[in-house]
């Protein structure tokens, strides 16, 4: 089962929802990383052997975070008007459609009704 590091721009409930589905999750807010740089959050996720789940499109920069050089990055790119429960449901639905291998080294962008994957 995959392990996720949840960035601080995601709802706290996202970690709880993923845990209820059997995923191991760490929230950066609980790991002393609140307000830290993208580089520090990324480094932490790699140290933990975890996929990074974030809303920060900056993690989509493949020059700074090259595909294949990490355990996976998932960017949840949803409008601010989307409710937390709808966001969490969309994330869970997307994860149900993916295999563990789809995450490894990949950049995955989730948008309403759409999944884009850039593989290594």
pLDDT tens for 42-66 read 999 999 999 999 999 999 999 999 9
pTM: 0.96
Give the distance from CA 18 to its chain's centroid: 11
Q: How far apart are CA 47 and CA 41, in angstroms?
A: 10
Q: How far apart are CA 62 and CA 118, in angstroms?
A: 10
pLDDT, mean over the chain: 96
Which residue ranges in the chain fall short of pLDDT 50? none
Residue 102's domain comprises 3-118
Measured between its terminal Cα atoms, the distance across the chain in Å is: 20
pLDDT of residue 120: 82
CATH code of residue 27: 3.40.50
Contact (CB, 8 A) for 73 and 52: yes
- Number of domains composing the chain: 1
Angle in degrees, 0-180, between the axes of helices 84-96 and 12-20, rounded to the nearest 10: 40
Separation in Å, CA 81 to CA 14, 28, 54, 84, 111 = 16, 24, 17, 9, 13
Query: Residue 26: beta bridge partners?
Result: 5
């Amino acid at each position: 089962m995959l392990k996720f590091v949840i960035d601080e721009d995601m709802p706290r409930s996202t970690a709880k929802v993923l845990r209820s589905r059997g995923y191991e999750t760490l929230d950066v807010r609980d790991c002393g990383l609140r307000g830290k740089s993208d580089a520090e959050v990324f480094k932490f996720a790699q140290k933990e052997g975890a996929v990074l789940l974030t809303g920060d499109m900056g993690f989509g920069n493949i020059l700074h975070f090259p595909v294949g050089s990490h355990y996976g990055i998932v960017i949840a790119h949803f409008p601010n008007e989307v409710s937390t429960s709808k966001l969490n449901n969309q994330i869970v639905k997307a994860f149900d459609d993916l295999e563990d291998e789809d995450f490894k080294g990949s950049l995955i962008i989730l948008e309403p009704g759409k999944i884009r994957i850039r593989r290594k």
